[in-house]
Structure 1
Amino acid sequence: MKTAILLLNVGSPDAPTVPAVRRYLTQFLNDKRVIDLPWLLRKFLVNAIIIPFRVKNSTKLYLRLWTKKGSPLIFLTEELREKLEQKQKDGDKVFAAMRYGNPSIKKALKEIKSEGFEKIILVPLFPQHAMSTTETAVTAAEKRIKKLGIKAEVKSVEQFYDHPKFLESFVKQGQKYDLSKYDHVIFSYHGLPNRHIEKCHPGINLAVCNCTTAGIPEHGKKCYRATSYETSRLLAKQLNLKPEDYTVSYQSRLSKNWLTPFTDVTLDEKLKEGKKKILVFAPSFVTDCLETTLEIGVEYGDEFYKNGGEKLQLVESLNAEDHWVEALNEIIKDQTTA
């Protein structure tokens, strides 16, 4: 079957300007799977409070992130798309779209429809499932497919946090550094509100759930906290790290009622323990972006050094590395050929 592979990532503003950032934040934060409050409350909170107070600061951050090629998230995803397409058989094609902003899902699917593909494979580029990433991206694509009247067979790649090739790719990134020269390793994941976990898994008690130590719990394999800890355990095993050698933490929080421990707090705690050289992996991101390059590499780094740290090194994400292209191609085949 003539197949279209659609890579789905989060997105970025079109430019590091206040109007562009406002448009992006408006689309992003009004998503009910991102801020899961009642419609009226969400609209008021997002459009009357959050965006007016955040847009200028967010614009300054994007200005620091921007390169001559534009937003790293966009051009790195495009590089990945180009390389992945070279791996496909004749007639198959790879597209890339952002859940928020451009290139849009609508534009990509219109092109897919016009070229008459018989099969569409949706590939959300999020290793661990969350309703604010994987779920919203796939749902948006499926709705647009239906609205456009596309009759192709549709399949989706699920989370791939435990796929051997994904793990191998991150290990290769980490092996660019001599782990013996660092006092500690942190696996930092994008944070989520606790209520997201509780909403996806009714009845769960995060205070007593043992998913942080005992693997994937009974309440399901799509628990973001469980899969992030499992990702870390699997990576640590391949990196020959003992449990005391690494810590799992969460970044980008908006309130204290988000998944803990927080990455910035963890860095402070490790410093107090005398661990002044720390290597940081960010295994919930396959593409470097604001949260990796700037939040960890610059903001956390500045604070770390100010408090007496000697070395804070971010392990680059998978981006468009050749080994990641090979890995992703195999992940897609493994999950969609059955």
Structure 2
Amino acid sequence: MNNMKSAVLLVTIGTPASYSVGDVRRYLSRFLNDPYVINIPWLWRKLLVNLIIVPFRAPKSAEKYQKIWTKDGFPLYVYLKIVRDQLAERIGSDADVWYAMSYASPDIEEVFMKMENEGYQQITVVPLFPNYANSTTGSICDSVNKALKLWKREPQLNFVNSYYDHPLFLDAWVDRIKRYAPEHYDHILFSFHGLPLSHLPQKRQVDRGVTEEKPDYADYEGVCYYFTKLIAERLGLKEKQYSVAFQSRMSKRWLRPFTDQKLISLAVKKQKVLVVPLSFVADCLETTLELGEEYKEIFLAHGGEEYQLVDSLNDSPKWLDALEKIVDLT
């Protein structure tokens, strides 16, 4: 960092204030009404989200949040605070470290209001999503730009679009995976959060597969395969030993192959499977519950021999090593 008064802002998607149906409903409404998340005309989105999706989804989601809620709160939020504190300790006086959430408090707008009062001249924004998607990092970028327009004097902004290929970040994942003895398993499945096909370029290929060339950072599907390739190379895996799939779909018109269907195909072969959630740097519903319980039940019910989920990076020292370097942009 240089001599300007600097700050680092870590941003994640957020969490309901509690697992009560009311708090979950408010969170889902704010999340799903974001045009970056559901990109259909405003009126149709309001009707779909507020009259159909949220009323029916909130009670079921509240039950899911309750299952993994800890005494300190939702794991995603707990690890966000821990990582903020540990990064602040590492950076020391070079910069102050803040955190914000896209759809919960403290949100980006209120944090930037406080930052303006503090007189920061340089801000580095790090969305806690290793690879870019318009519905996550793109939405955060839009919110940051809107917040900065309210400043009387804008600071120098460093915005980290992606960091999936940062060597230390890859090292953090490789170290995490090796702790689970990957050589013990017949197959390693790298699972990424899915996206609606409407979020992808019109000319996308039907089956992308592993690519040798580094894709554009905004090519979510291509990056998922390339990211996996980089991890697999460091683990010494052959192509037949691993595959990529996409989870958390809301309809059939989402990125394929679907993680649950891929697991079924592996289960009928009586495979031992290790599942790696590369989309996530902290455990949440999609890791602990969806991959850790729901998909495990599906896999075992179809004859799978052994199923193991790798924990997210959470607050691992190697993840902090990587993050410290990722924010050091000047």
Regarding TM over 0.5, the answer is: yes
**Counterpart in the other structure of 2:148:** 145
Instruction: Determine the C-alpha separation between the residues in 2 that align with 1:305 and 1:274.
Output: 9
Q: CA deviation at 1:91?
A: 5.3
**Counterpart in the other structure of 2:321:** 326
> 130-139 or 101-110, which moves further after superposition?
101-110
Amino acid at match of 2:200: I
**Counterpart in the other structure of 2:266:** 270
Instruction: Determine the C-alpha separation between the residues in 1 that align with 2:92 and 2:282.
Output: 25
Aligned with residue 214 of structure 1, among 211, 216, 224: 211
Q: Is the 8 A contact 2:131 2:162 kept in 1?
A: yes
**Counterpart in the other structure of 1:240:** 236
Q: Is the 8 A contact 2:211 2:225 kept in 1?
A: no
**Counterpart in the other structure of 2:280:** 285
SS in structure 1 opposite 2:189? strand
CA deviation string 1:82-125 (max 9, x = no partner): 00011224152000111111222123222212221111111111
Q: Is the 8 A contact 2:121 2:156 kept in 1?
A: yes
Q: Is the 8 A contact 1:216 1:227 kept in 2?
A: no
Which 5+ residue runs of structure 2 have no aligned equivalent?
none
Aligned with residue 163 of structure 1, among 149, 166, 169: 166
Structure-2 change in CA distance of 1:195 and 1:216 (3 Å): farther
Amino acid at match of 2:245: S
Amino acid at match of 2:27: Y
Q: CA deviation at 1:226?
A: 0.2
**Counterpart in the other structure of 1:42:** 45
Q: Is the 8 A contact 1:109 1:145 kept in 2?
A: yes
**Counterpart in the other structure of 2:251:** 255
Instruction: Determine the C-alpha separation between the residues in 2 that align with 1:250 and 1:40.
Output: 29
Amino acid at match of 2:96: K
**Counterpart in the other structure of 1:223:** 219
Instruction: Determine the C-alpha separation between the residues in 2 that align with 1:187 and 1:217.
Output: 18
Aligned with residue 184 of structure 1, among 184, 187, 190: 187
Q: How does 1:99-178 map to 2 (within 5 A)?
A: 99-149=102-152, 151-178=154-181
**Counterpart in the other structure of 1:19:** 22
Amino acid at match of 1:175: K
**Counterpart in the other structure of 1:310:** 305
**Counterpart in the other structure of 2:295:** 300
Amino acid at match of 1:22: R
Q: CA deviation at 1:171?
A: 0.5
RMSD over aligned Cα, in angstroms?
1.4
Q: CA deviation at 1:38?
A: 0.7
Which 5+ residue runs of structure 1 have no aligned equivalent?
none
Q: Is the 8 A contact 2:267 2:300 kept in 1?
A: no
Amino acid at match of 1:93: D
Q: TM-score, normalised by structure 2?
A: 0.95
Instruction: Determine the C-alpha separation between the residues in 2 that align with 1:215 and 1:43.
Output: 42
> 230-239 or 296-305, which moves further after superposition?
296-305
Q: How does 1:47-66 map to 2 (within 5 A)?
A: 47-66=50-69
Instruction: Determine the C-alpha separation between the residues in 1 that align with 2:221 and 2:121.
Output: 36
Q: CA deviation at 1:309?
A: 2.4
Structure-2 change in CA distance of 1:302 and 1:145 (3 Å): same
Q: Is the 8 A contact 2:173 2:313 kept in 1?
A: yes
Q: CA deviation at 1:274?
A: 2.4
Identity %: 41
Q: CA deviation at 1:306?
A: 2.3
Q: Is the 8 A contact 1:212 1:225 kept in 2?
A: no
Instruction: Determine the C-alpha separation between the residues in 2 that align with 1:99 and 1:149.
Output: 23
Amino acid at match of 2:277: A
Q: TM-score, normalised by structure 1?
A: 0.93
**Counterpart in the other structure of 2:204:** 205
